[in-house]
Amino acid sequence: MHLAQLRLRDFRNYQRLDLRFGSGFHLLLGNNAQGKTNVLESVYLLATLRSFRGVGPAQMIRHGSPGFFVGAEVVGHHGCLIRYYWSMKERRLSVDQEPVRRLSDYLGLVRAVVFCTEDLQLIKGSPRFRRRFMDLLLAQTEPAYLHALQQYVKVLRSRNALLKAPRWDQATLEAYTHSLLNYGNQIMEARYRLVPKLLPLAQQAYRRISGDDEGLECAYAPAVREDFQQELARLASRERQFKTTLLGPHRDELQWSLKGRSVSEFGSEGQKRSVVIAMKMAQAELLTQHAGTPPILLIDDVMGELDQKRRSGLLPLLDRSHHAGGQVFMTCTEENWPRELGRRLNRWIVREGTVNPSSPH
Ligand X SMILES: Nc1ncnc2c1ncn2[C@@H]1O[C@H](COP(=O)(O)OP(=O)(O)OP(=O)(O)O)[C@@H](O)[C@H]1O
Interface residue list for ligand X (CB under 6 A): 12-13, 30, 32-38, 59, 61-63, 301, 331, 333, 350
Residue 12's binding partner among Mg ion, ligand X, none (Cβ under 5 to 8 angstroms by kind) is ligand X
Instruction: Pick the closer one to Mg ion by CB: 37 or 141.
Output: 37
Rounded to a whole number of angstroms, the minimum distance from the CB of residue 63 to Mg ion is 18
Q: Which of the stretches 37-45, 68-76, 245-253, 255-263 binds Mg ion when contact is defined by CB under 5 A? A: 37-45
Instruction: Pick the closer one to ligand X by CB: 112 or 254.
Output: 112
Rounded to a whole number of angstroms, the minimum distance from the CB of residue 70 to ligand X is 13
CB of 153 closer than 8 Å to CB of 160? no
Instruction: Pick the closer one to Mg ion by CB: 118 or 231.
Output: 118
Instruction: Pick the closer one to ligand X by CB: 59 or 312.
Output: 59
Residue 13's binding partner among ligand X, Mg ion, none (Cβ under 5 to 8 angstroms by kind) is ligand X
Number of residues that bind Mg ion (CB under 5 A): 2
Rounded to a whole number of angstroms, the minimum distance from the CB of residue 348 to Mg ion is 14
Asked if 38 touches Mg ion (CB under 5 A), the answer is no
Asked if 37 touches Mg ion (CB under 5 A), the answer is yes
Rounded to a whole number of angstroms, the minimum distance from the CB of residue 30 to Mg ion is 9
The three-class DSSP label of residue 217 is strand
Return the DSSP state at 57: G
Instruction: Give the residue among 201, 195, 206 at the shortest CA–CA distance from 254.
Output: 195
CB of 40 closer than 8 Å to CB of 298? yes
- 3-state SS of 87-141 is ECCCEEEEECCEECCCHHHHCCCCCEEEECHHHHHHHHCCHHHHHHHHHHHHHHH
Residue 23's binding partner among Mg ion, ligand X, none (Cβ under 5 to 8 angstroms by kind) is none
Residue 34's binding partner among Mg ion, ligand X, none (Cβ under 5 to 8 angstroms by kind) is ligand X
Q: Interior CA angle at 143 toward 77 and 109, to 5°?
A: 30
CB of 248 closer than 8 Å to CB of 228? yes
Residue 333's binding partner among ligand X, Mg ion, none (Cβ under 5 to 8 angstroms by kind) is ligand X
Residue 360, Cβ density class (10 Å: 0-12 exposed, 13-18 middle, ≥19 buried) = exposed
Residue window 7-36: x/- pattern of binding to Mg ion, with contact defined by CB under 5 A? -----------------------------x
Rounded to a whole number of angstroms, the minimum distance from the CB of residue 34 to ligand X is 4
User: Which residues are bridge partners to 351 per DSSP?
Assistant: 354
Asked if 257 touches Mg ion (CB under 5 A), the answer is no
Residue 30's binding partner among ligand X, Mg ion, none (Cβ under 5 to 8 angstroms by kind) is ligand X
CB of 28 closer than 8 Å to CB of 37? no
C-alpha span between 137 and 17 (Å, rounded) = 30
Outline where 211-268 has alpha helix (H): 228-234, 236-242, 263-266
Residue 306's binding partner among ligand X, Mg ion, none (Cβ under 5 to 8 angstroms by kind) is none
With a CB cutoff of 8 Å and minimum separation 6, the contacts of 150 are: 103
Instruction: Pick the closer one to ligand X by CB: 47 or 163.
Output: 47
DSSP assignment of 11-25, as one string?
ETTEEEEEEE--SEE
Rounded to a whole number of angstroms, the minimum distance from the CB of residue 12 to ligand X is 4
Instruction: Pick the closer one to Mg ion by CB: 208 or 311.
Output: 311
- Interface residues with Mg ion (CB under 5 A)? 36-37
